[in-house]
Chains A and B, each alone.
Chain A
Amino acid sequence: MATVTDTQHAPHSHGKPSGLSRWLTATNHKDIGTLYLWFSFAMFLSGGVMALCIRAELFHPGLQFFQPELFNQFTTLHGLIMVFGAIMPAFTGLANWLLPLMIGAPDMAFARMNNWSFWLLPPAALLLLASFAVPGGAAAAGWTLYAPLSTQMGMGMDMTIFAIHIMGISSIMGSINIIVTILNLRAPGMTLMKMPMFAWATLITAYLIIAVMPVLAGAVTMVLTDRHFGTHFFNAAGGGDPILYQHVFWFFGHPEVYIMALPAFGIISHVIPTFARKPLFGYTSMVYATSSIGILSFMVWAHHMFATGMPATAQLFFMYATMLIAVPTGVKVFNWIATMWEGSMTFETPMLFAIGFIMLFTIGGLSGVTLSVAAVDIALHASYYVVAHFHYVLVAGALFSLFAAIYYWFPKMTGKMYNERLGKVHFWWSLIWFNVTFFPMHFLGLAGMPRRIPDYALQFTTFNEIASVGAFFFGLGQLIFLYNMLVSIRRGEPAPQKPWEGADTLEWQIPTPAPYHSFAEAPELEVAENGAIRAMKGGKHH
């Protein structure tokens, strides 16, 4: 990112501002993308430390390090920080960095709003982290903030509610920016049905965010008024209903699951074709599968609530609707496998993470189908089986795809190559310790261990010990990634314009590192499916 390679001088060109003001007043999509990515990594580390506190406490039965109140705060804040602080901003950051490069736009559509979207996040994160220090501690109702727990706790809950409001506004503005950029700023020739899968995935994700983040904002606002202004939305005594909270929350919560999964699908749809040196199999079906997952995600929310005593008819509806999602998801998985079929594959770090993603995400998907069976779910509800399930789709799913993306686009972002050997160590280390951590949780859940408890019955000891050891090694391995990034940004080998032989989307047609002002003039493109560039004319950078 350090040098401007192209010196063509446009009349209104301006250089990079320097120092702190470059970041505080950033309007350049690459700077803002970089801010998002570092912010989400910092949140990933702080949420990770909380996870390790949880695993340390669960290493043995009985209470070792933390009182149950603090333990509950850790589980709650770990979830909130990872979902709203790490995964969602990381995907927004990637979208900021890559979308304009992929579709030939000069920048995001609303540069100043983009700045605001990002700078709302640090105050929200501070609110969450500072809530540990207030009387009563941080929110401890679980990341879902279920009423009536959330209508009772101390001011840590109010801080959490405001943090959610702020992060919600941030992600809605980020999404508006993404949608307007994709719909209005594509270069001539880049039609919607030729557009790269990552652009498609972030487009649909952005629509989901605009549709459901306001619903979450509504739900927590009702909690807030129940807490302080005498309303009874969720108070049974006053004529309200705590189950209503669950309905409103999961109307947001299930699309949220796909908000964290669809961009991952988009990334994998770039990495797999590149390293298989074949075009993505079934591009059109990928687009439709992504859209149908987005639409179906609004019709399945009550599968999180099978244990609330719903009528059997409703349980059946939500059970079958949930199972239906396996169809478009299966289309995607089989398309990726078909893309690899008879490809000339090489296994650089991004490809390793992508293949690891496919394998482990599929395991998480299968345990999801298991949980969708209402009769089974009543036994497994709120058990460690659920914890195992969503960590397979969020850690091995979303997080692995993010690692794949960072390694894959690192050369274009920084102009340097990362250390391939350390990257591979990072992958195998993460793969092994991830499974050591989370696979035993399936057994714990099947044996009846409930989630969100600081203490457990003796028969669960061995699997908990294995999981805790795995978690600490998994956490340690992420420092390899940090070290690799820091060293490679400074002293990595210079990267060529196209470091990956099979890469064919637009961002690989411009110099490396990507010029500060890329596509100041829109290029004329001839594009094949999945954004593969056949020919490019024009397009100025400076």
Chain B
Amino acid sequence: MESSQHSVNLVLLKKLAIIALVMFGFAWALVPMYRVICEATGLNQIAVADAAPMQAGAAGAQIEMTFDSMVQAGLPWRVRPLTSHLKVKTGEFIRVDYEITNASDRRMVGQAVPRYLPAAAGEYVKKLDCFCFKQQSFEPGQTKRFPVVFVVDPKMPRDISTITLAYSIFEVPGQGGL
């Protein structure tokens, strides 16, 4: 092969290699892009306090709520809602308490993630205070009690009559002890 041909080929090779490197960078750039899109559209913002709905205080339809909790297999948390069932009215300010125990012999930092059933109810449960808004740290064997304060938005469709609110507790790696 002539050397001029070879140098032309090398130029194209370099350009294509740069495309590949840029695309590798693009994969990492998707991380902040995803966060920005989620923030801009308000999607997936579970750890932020909601504003109380306009009609809060005016009692509305009656709904049944169940409070639940989940711990991933292998994680030494004990989580217990102090109230497991409650009849509430939409627009009413509700407070329930959760008790979380670090059942291990080391310091741990946990993050709770809420989940709603039916999922469609999620956007109508307006949480004003919640332990899930930030990471919580626990001494070995420590038990802490946390409040959750929320209002069920009266705008919620009438066909939702029962809501389950369940928290999963995860360990934040690298934040606790060993």
Q: Which residues of A contact B (CB under 8 A)?
A: 106, 109-110, 172, 175-176, 179-180, 183-185, 210-219, 222, 230, 232-233, 235-239, 241, 243-244, 247-248, 251, 309, 311
Report the tally of A-B residue pairs with Cβ distances under 8 A.
98
In the assembled complex, which residues on chain B have CB atoms less than 8 Å from the CB atom of A230? 173-174
Do A235 and B170 touch (CB < 8 A)?
yes
A244 to B33, CA, bound (A): 10
Please give, as numbers and ranges, the residues of chain A lying within 8 Å of B1 by CB-CB distance.
106
A214 touches B20 (CB 8 A): yes
A230 to B175, CA, bound (A): 9
Q: Is A210 a contact partner of B20 (Cβ separation < 8 A)?
A: yes
Contact between A237 and B21, CB atoms less than 8 A apart = no
| B123 CB, nearest partner CB in chain A, Å | 11
Asked whether, in the complex, the Cβ of B23 is within 8 Å of the Cβ of A210, the reply is yes
- Known contacts A214-B23, A244-B34, A248-B30; decide if A180 and B173 are in contact (CB<8 Å): no
The answer, among B12, B113, B119, for a CB contact under 8 Å with A179, is: B12
Kindly state the separation between the CA atoms of A429 and B175 in the bound complex, as whole angstroms: 59
Pair A311/B12 contact, Cβ less than 8 Å = no
Q: Shortest distance in angstroms between A10's beta carbon and chain B's nearest beta carbon?
A: 13
Residue of A nearest to B135 (CB): A237
A15 to chain B, nearest CB (A): 19
Bound state CA distance, A179 and B11, in angstroms? Answer: 12
Complex Cα distance, B26 from A247, in Å, reads 13
Residue pair A211, B19 in contact (C-beta under 8 Å): yes
Q: Which residues does chain A contribute within 8 Å of B8, judged by CB atoms?
A: 184
Q: What is the CB-to-nearest-CB distance from B18 to chain A, in angstroms, rounded to a whole number?
A: 10
Question: How far does the alpha carbon of A337 sit from the alpha carbon of B13 in the complex, in Å?
Answer: 38
Residues of A within 8 A of B174 (CB): 230, 238
Other-chain contact of B27, A183, A219, A239, A241 (Cβ < 8 Å): A219
In the complex, what's the smallest C-beta–C-beta distance from A175 to chain B, in angstroms? 8
B contact residues around A219 at 8 Å (CB): 27
Q: Which residues of B contact A180 (CB under 8 A)?
A: 9, 12-13, 16
Contacts of B113 in A (CB 8 A): 236-237
Whether the pair A251, B16 counts as a contact (CB closer than 8 A) is no
Known: A176-B13, A210-B16, A309-B119. A237 touches B171 (CB 8 A): yes
Contacts of A238 in B (CB 8 A): 111, 172-175
Interchain CB contact (< 8 A) of A243 among B28, B44, B172: B44
Question: B61 at interface (Cβ–Cβ under 8 A)?
Answer: no
Q: Judge whether A248 and B27 touch: CB under 8 Å.
A: yes
Cβ-defined contact, B12 with A217, below 8 A: no
Interface string of B64-94 (1 = CB under 8 A from A): 0000000000000000000000000000000
A109 CA to B13 CA, complexed, in Å:
10
Q: Which of the listed residues B20, B21, B113 has the most CB atoms from chain A within 10 Å of its own CB?
A: B20
Q: Is the CB of B31 within 8 A of A233?
A: yes
Question: Is B110 touching A237 in the complex (CB atoms < 8 A)?
Answer: yes
CB distance from A65 to the nearest CB of B (A): 25
Q: Chain B, 117-146, contact with A by CB distance < 8 Å: what is the 0/1 string?
A: 001000000000000000100000000000
Main secondary structure on B side of the interface with A: helix
Residue of A nearest to B112 (CB): A237
Q: Which residues of B contact A213 (CB under 8 A)?
A: 20, 23
Q: Give B151-178 as 1s and 0s: 1 = Cβ < 8 Å from A's Cβ atoms.
A: 0000000000000000000111111000
Residues from chain A with Cβ under 8 Å of B19 in the complex:
210-211
Report how far A422 CA is from B1 CA in the complex, Å. 42
Give every chain B residue within 8 A of A218 (Cβ-Cβ). Answer: 24-28, 30
* A247 pairs with B30, CB closer than 8 A: yes
B73 to chain A, nearest CB (A): 10
What residues of B have a CB within 8 angstroms of the CB of A216 in the complex? 27
Given contacts A237-B110, A241-B34, A251-B30, contact A217 B24 (CB under 8 A): yes
Most buried by A among B17, B25, B41, B172: B172
CA of A248 to CA of B12, assembled, Å: 27
The 5 A-B pairs with the shortest beta carbon distances in the complex, nearest first, are A218-B27, A237-B170, A214-B24, A237-B111, A214-B23
The answer to whether A247 touches B5 (Cβ under 8 A) is no
Is there a chain A Cβ closer than 8 Å to B43's Cβ?
Answer: yes
B contact residues around A251 at 8 Å (CB): 27, 30
The interface residues of chain B lying within 8 Å CB-to-CB of A215 are 23-24, 26-27, 30
Please measure, in the bound complex, the distance between the C-alpha atom of A179 and the C-alpha atom of B34, giving whole angstroms. Answer: 32
Contact of B31 among A212, A236, A244, A309 (CB under 8 A): A244
A294 to chain B, nearest CB (A): 14
Q: Given the complex, which residues of B lie within 8 Å of A212, measured CB to CB? A: 23
- Cβ contact of A247, chosen from B23, B34, B43, B171, cutoff 8 A: B34
Q: In the complex, what distance in Å separates the CA atom of A244 from the CA atom of B30?
A: 8
Q: What CA separation (Å) do A183 and B31 show in the bound complex?
A: 34
Shortest beta-carbon distance from B140 to chain A in Å: 19
Since A210-B23, A218-B28 are in contact, a sample of 4 more A-B pairs with Cβ atoms closer than 8 Å, ordered by chain A residue number, is A179-B16, A214-B23, A217-B24, A311-B43
With a cutoff of 8 Å between Cβ atoms, the chain B residues found around residue A237 in the complex are 110-111, 113, 135, 170-173
Q: How far is the CA of A211 from the CA of B27 in the complex (A)?
A: 10
Q: Can you give 25 A-B contacts (C-beta < 8 A)? A: A109-B9, A110-B13, A176-B17, A179-B12, A180-B9, A180-B13, A184-B5, A184-B8, A185-B9, A210-B16, A210-B20, A213-B20, A213-B23, A214-B23, A214-B26, A215-B26, A216-B27, A218-B25, A218-B26, A219-B27, A232-B172, A236-B170, A237-B110, A237-B172, A311-B43
Name the residue of chain A whose CB is nearest to the CB of B1: A106
A214 contacts across to B, CB distance below 8 A: 20-21, 23-24, 26-27
In the assembled complex, the Cα of A237 lies from the Cα of B137 at a distance in Å of 12
The smallest C-beta distance from A444 to any residue of chain B, in angstroms, reads 26
Give the CA-CA distance A267 to B30 in the complex, in Å: 35
CB nearest neighbor in A for B119: A309
- Compute how far the CA of A239 lies from the CA of B38 in the bound complex, rounded to whole angstroms: 13
Residues on B with beta carbons closer than 8 Å to the beta carbon of A110: 9, 13
| Residues A184 and B12 in contact, CB atoms below 8 Å apart | yes
